[in-house]
C-alpha cells in the first residue's frame, strides 16, 4: 500500500477534483459548508474586531450553550495572579466606570455651580440637564420616561381638587408600567430603563398623595413639575426624593468643604464597590468549592453591584446639591444641627441610600430591608404602609411588598425574592419578639434603645472593657463586672450572632440567582432560572423559614 492510501495505485490522481475536470467541483463540494473546507489563508478573525456582545453571540453559535456553562463562572479568573487581575480586569472596569460617571458628575456640578437668579431658571436648568443626563445613560429609550412624566402631569392636572389623586396616580403608574412591559417595549430595552421608570413612578405617586394630604399646598406648575421629575441628580439612577426636598435644593447655598469631601468620598466608595462586584468577588472566591460558598459569592457580587449604583446615585444627588435638612427618624442617633441663620441653614450632606455595613453584617433581615434602599423604604413606609394600615398589620406588610414588586416590574425573580423577604422578615420579627418577651432580653429584630425596659440588657461597654484588659485572666472579675452581666453579654451576643448568620444565609440564598450567566441577565431573569437556582440549593432557606414559623407557633 502506498503510504496508507486507501485506494489502489494508479488512481490517486483522479479523486481530487481540482486535478480532474472542473465540472466535478460542485458535486464534490455539495454538502460542505464554508467552515469545513480547509483553506490555507483563512479569513482573519480577531476577537477584538467584534464588540463583546457580538463576540459572545458568536461564541454561543459556534460552540453552543456549553460555551457559557463550561467555563468558570466569573470569567476564568481562577488562574490569574494579582498583577494580571489588575491589568486585565480592574483597569478596564475602572476605565469604564469613569467613562460613565464623569459626564454625569460634570452635569451635576454645572447645575450646582450656576446659581441661577430666579426659581424658574433653575427649574428650567434642572429639566434640561436632567434630560441630557437621561439621554447619556439611556440613549435609545429615554423617551419612554419622558412620556411617563407627561402622562403623570396630565393626570394630576386633570384631577385638581380631588381627594383621590394618590390612588389615581398609583393606578395610572401601574397601568403604564404593565402596558409598556408587556406590549410595547422589547424585553432587553425595558430591563435597562426599569430602574428609572420605577423612580419616576414613585415621584408621581408621592406627589399625588402629598397633594391629597396637604403636605404640598399647590399643584406644581408645568415647569416645577418637569424640574422635579427630570431632576438631574435623580433621573437616571437617583434615589427618590420628595417634592419638598427638591424645592430645598433650589435655595442657593455656598460651596462648602464638607460638600466637596463628601462628594469625593462617595465617588471613591462607588468605584470600590464596582471593582469588588465585577472583579474581586470572583477572584477571592475562585473555585467552585461548595455550592453554598459559590452562592454567597454570587449574592455578594450582586449586593456590591447594588451598592455601586446606590453610591452613584448618592454622588449625583450630593453633587447637584441635595442635602438633608430635617431630622430624619430613620437615622438612629444622628442629630442634625439646624441652626437657622438669617439666610443659611446648616446642611448635613448626609443623604444615604444604602448602608453596606448593616447589610453585610446584619442584625436581622428587617435591618437589611431597611438599609437596602433607605429613600425607597421611607417612601414605602409613608405612602403605602400608612395608607394600607387600616386594613390590618399583616395585610399592610404584604401590600407593601406587593407594591414594591410591582414597581420593580413583572419580574418573577424579583417578586419571588421580595415576597420571600416579606415572609422571612415577618416571621423573624414575631419570633424574636416572642423570644424577647420570654427571656426579656435585647434580641429584637431592631436594635434596642437604651430605655427598652428589658431585664437582660447587656452592658456592652462593661463587657468590652473587660475584654480589652490584658491581664483579665488573672484579675478578679467580680470587681469589674458581675458574673450575671458577663453571662448576659455572652448569651445575648451569641443569640444575636446566630440570627446574624441566619440572615446572611438567607441573603446568600436569595441573591444566588443574580449571577452572570448573561444569557438571561439582560432580559431579566425568568421563572425557570429562578426555580432552578433555588432547586440546586434544595430550597433550604424556605424550609428554614417554615421551620422557624412552626417554632414560633409552638412557643
Partner 1 sequence: MQGPWWVTILLPSLLLSAVVPADGLWWLINKPGGARGGSNAIRWSTGEARRYCGAVPWPVRRQKIMCEKFPRATTKVREGANLGIQECQHQFKHRLWNCSTADISVLQRLLSIRSRETAFLHAIVSAGVAYGVARACSTGELQECSCSKAKTKPPPGAESAGGEWEWGGCSHNIRFGDNLSKEFMDANEVAADDTGLMNLHNNEAGRKSIKANMKVTCKCHGVSGSCATMVCWESMPSFRQVGDIIMGKYHGATYVKINKKGSRLRPRNKRHKRPTAHDVVYLDDSPDYCEVDVAKGSYGTRGRKCNRTSAGVDGCQLLCCNRDFVSREETTEESCNCKFKWCCEVTCKKCKKKELVHYCK
Judged by CB under 8 A, the residue of 56, 121, 213, 433 near partner 1 is: 56
Counting contacts by CB under 8 A, is residue 410 touching partner 1? Answer: no
| Angle subtended at Cα 68 by Cα 66 and Cα 74, rounded to the nearest 5 degrees | 140
Q: What is the rounded distance in angstroms from the CA atom of residue 160 to the CA atom of residue 204?
A: 14
Is there a contact between 473 and 525 (Cβ–Cβ < 8 Å)?
no
Q: Among 191, 306, 408, 529, which one carries the catalytic annotation?
A: 408
Residues 234-293 that bind partner 1 (CB under 8 A): 236-237, 274, 277-279
Q: Which of 501, 505, 511 is nearest to 534 (CA)?
A: 511
* By CB under 8 A, residue 1 contacts partner 1: no
Question: For residue 407, which of 428, 364, 377, 365 has the smallest C-alpha distance?
Answer: 377
Q: Is 198 in the site for partner 1 (CB under 8 A)?
A: yes
CA pair distance 333, 84, nearest whole angstrom:
45
Is residue 320 a contact residue for partner 1 (CB under 8 A)? no
Among 518, 528, 532, 536, binds partner 1 (CB under 8 A): 518
Query: Which positions from 488 through 517 interact with partner 1, judged by CB under 8 A?
Result: 514, 516
Please, which residue, 168 or 198, has the CB nearer to partner 1? 198
Tell me the β-bridge partners of 348: 324
> Between residue 3 and residue 22, which ones bind partner 1 under the rule CB under 8 A?
3-7, 13, 15-16, 18-19
The 3-state secondary structure of 295-337 reads: HHHHHHHHHHHHHHHHHHHHHHHHHHCCCECCCCCCCCCCCCC
Cα 301 to Cα 140, 173, 200, 284, 295: the distances in Å are 27, 31, 27, 11, 10
Instruction: Look up 408 and say whether it is catalytic.
Output: yes
- The least CB distance from residue 72 to partner 1, in Å, is 9
Which of these, 370, 326, 347, lies nearest to 215 by C-alpha position? 326
Among 196, 271, 442, 504, interactor with partner 1 by CB under 8 A: 196
d(CA 421, CA 182): 26
| Using rule CB under 8 A, residue 53 touches partner 1 | yes
Q: Is 459 in the site for partner 1 (CB under 8 A)?
A: no
Does 54 interact with partner 1 (rule: CB under 8 A)? yes
Which residue lies nearer to partner 1 by CB, 189 or 360? 189
- Residue from 153, 191, 203, 363 binding partner 1 (CB under 8 A): 191
Closer to partner 1 by CB, 208 or 409: give it: 409
- Shortest distance, position 200 Cβ to partner 1, whole Å: 12
Q: Does 64 bind partner 1 (CB under 8 A)?
A: no
Asked if 46 touches partner 1 (CB under 8 A), the answer is yes
Binding piece for partner 1, criterion CB under 8 A, among 136-144, 452-460, 463-471, 487-495: 136-144
Helix (H, G, I), strand (E, B), or coil: what is residue 470?
Answer: coil
Nearer to partner 1, 11 or 474 (CB): 11
**Least Cβ distance, residue 471 to partner 1 (angstroms):** 21
What whole-number distance in Å separates Cα of residue 507 and Cα of residue 303? 9
In whole angstroms, how large is the CA radius of gyration of the chain?
A: 30
* Residue 119 CB, nearest approach to partner 1 (Å): 29
Binding segment toward partner 1, per CB under 8 A, in 87-95, 223-231, 251-259, 458-466: 87-95
Q: Taking CB under 8 A as the rule, does residue 188 contact partner 1?
A: yes
CA 68, 73, 79, 85 dihedral sign is positive
The residue written with cell numbers 420571600 in the block is 420
Q: Which three cell numbers stand for residue 442?
A: 435585647
Identify the residue among 64, 69, 71, 326 touching partner 1 (CB under 8 A): 71
As a whole number of angstroms, the distance between CA 335 and CA 337 comes to 6
For 433, other C-beta atoms within 10 Å of its C-beta total: 14
Q: Which is nearest to 259 in space by CA: 328, 323, 307?
A: 323
By the rule CB under 8 A, 48 interacts with partner 1: yes
Of the candidates 186, 339, 340, 484, which one interacts with partner 1 according to CB under 8 A? Answer: 186
Q: Report the nearest approach of partner 1 to the CB of residue 137 (Å).
A: 6
Q: Which of 8, 30, 31, 45 binds partner 1 (CB under 8 A)?
A: 45
Query: Is 111 a binder of partner 1 (CB under 8 A)?
Result: no
Q: Which is nearer to partner 1, 288 or 437 (CB)?
A: 288
Q: Measured in Å, how far apart are the chain's first and last C-alpha atoms?
A: 89
Select 135 or 358, whichever has its Cβ closest to partner 1: 135
Q: Is 83 in the site for partner 1 (CB under 8 A)?
A: yes
3-state secondary structure of 7: coil
Catalytic residue set: 408
Amino acid at each position: 500500500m502506498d503510504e496508507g492510501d486507501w485506494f489502489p495505485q494508479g488512481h490517486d490522481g483522479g479523486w481530487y477534483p481540482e486535478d480532474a475536470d472542473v465540472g466535478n467541483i460542485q458535486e464534490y463540494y455539495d454538502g460542505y459548508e464554508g467552515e469545513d473546507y480547509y483553506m490555507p489563508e483563512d479569513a482573519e478573525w480577531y476577537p477584538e474586531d467584534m464588540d463583546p456582545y457580538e463576540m459572545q453571540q458568536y461564541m454561543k453559535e459556534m460552540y453552543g450553550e456549553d460555551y457559557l456553562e463550561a467555563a468558570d463562572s466569573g470569567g476564568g479568573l481562577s488562574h490569574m495572579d494579582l498583577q494580571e487581575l489588575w491589568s486585565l480586569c480592574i483597569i478596564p472596569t475602572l476605565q469604564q466606570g469613569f467613562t460613565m460617571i464623569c459626564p454625569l458628575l460634570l452635569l451635576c456640578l454645572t447645575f450646582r455651580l450656576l446659581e441661577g437668579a430666579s426659581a424658574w431658571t433653575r427649574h428650567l436648568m434642572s429639566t434640561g440637564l436632567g434630560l441630557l443626563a437621561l439621554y447619556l445613560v439611556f440613549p435609545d429609550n429615554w423617551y419612554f420616561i419622558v412620556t411617563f412624566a407627561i402622562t403623570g402631569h396630565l393626570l394630576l392636572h386633570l384631577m385638581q381638587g380631588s381627594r383621590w389623586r394618590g390612588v389615581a396616580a398609583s393606578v395610572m403608574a401601574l397601568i403604564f408600567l404593565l402596558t409598556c412591559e408587556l406590549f410595547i417595549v422589547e424585553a432587553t430595552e425595558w430591563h435597562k430603563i426599569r430602574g428609572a421608570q420605577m423612580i419616576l413612578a414613585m415621584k408621581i405617586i408621592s406627589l399625588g398623595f402629598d397633594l391629597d394630604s396637604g403636605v404640598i399646598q399647590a399643584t406644581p406648575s408645568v415647569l416645577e413639575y418637569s424640574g422635579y421629575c427630570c431632576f438631574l441628580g435623580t433621573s437616571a439612577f437617583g434615589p427618590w426624593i420628595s417634592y419638598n426636598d427638591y424645592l430645598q435644593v433650589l435655595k442657593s447655598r455656598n460651596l462648602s468643604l464638607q460638600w466637596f469631601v463628601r462628594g469625593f468620598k462617595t465617588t471613591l466608595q462607588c468605584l470600590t464597590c464596582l471593582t469588588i462586584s465585577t472583579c474581586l468577588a470572583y477572584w477571592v472566591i475562585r473555585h467552585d468549592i461548595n455550592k453554598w460558598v459559590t452562592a454567597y459569592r454570587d449574592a455578594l457580587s450582586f449586593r456590591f453591584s447594588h451598592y455601586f449604583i446606590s453610591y452613584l446615585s448618592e454622588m449625583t444627588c450630593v453633587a447637584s446639591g441635595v442635602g438633608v435638612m430635617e431630622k430624619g427618624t430613620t437615622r438612629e442617633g444622628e442629630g442634625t444641627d439646624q441652626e437657622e441663620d438669617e439666610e443659611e441653614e446648616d446642611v448635613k450632606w448626609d443623604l444615604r441610600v444604602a448602608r453596606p455595613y448593616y447589610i453585610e453584617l446584619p442584625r436581622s433581615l428587617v435591618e437589611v430591608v431597611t438599609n437596602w434602599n433607605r429613600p425607597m423604604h421611607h417612601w414605602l413606609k409613608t405612602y403605602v404602609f400608612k395608607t394600607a394600615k387600616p386594613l390590618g398589620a399583616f395585610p399592610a406588610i404584604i401590600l407593601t411588598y406587593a407594591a414594591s414588586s410591582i414597581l420593580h416590574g413583572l419580574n418573577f425573580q424579583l417578586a419571588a425574592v421580595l415576597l420571600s423577604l416579606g415572609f422571612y422578615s415577618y416571621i423573624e420579627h414575631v419570633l424574636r419578639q416572642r423570644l424577647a418577651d420570654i427571656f426579656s432580653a435585647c434580641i429584637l429584630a431592631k436594635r434596642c434603645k437604651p430605655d427598652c425596659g428589658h431585664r437582660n440588657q447587656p452592658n456592652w461597654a462593661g463587657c468590652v472593657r473587660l475584654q480589652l484588659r490584658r491581664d483579665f485572666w488573672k484579675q478578679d472579675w467580680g470587681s469589674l463586672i458581675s458574673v450575671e452581666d458577663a453571662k448576659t453579654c455572652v448569651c445575648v451576643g451569641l443569640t444575636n450572632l446566630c440570627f446574624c448568620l441566619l440572615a446572611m444565609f438567607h441573603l446568600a440564598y436569595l441573591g444566588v440567582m443574580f449571577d452572570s450567566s448573561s444569557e438571561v441577565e439582560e432580559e431579566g431573569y425568568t421563572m425557570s432560572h429562578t426555580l432552578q437556582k433555588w432547586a440546586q440549593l434544595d430550597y433550604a432557606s424556605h424550609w428554614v423559614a417554615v421551620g422557624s414559623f412552626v417554632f414560633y407557633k409552638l412557643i
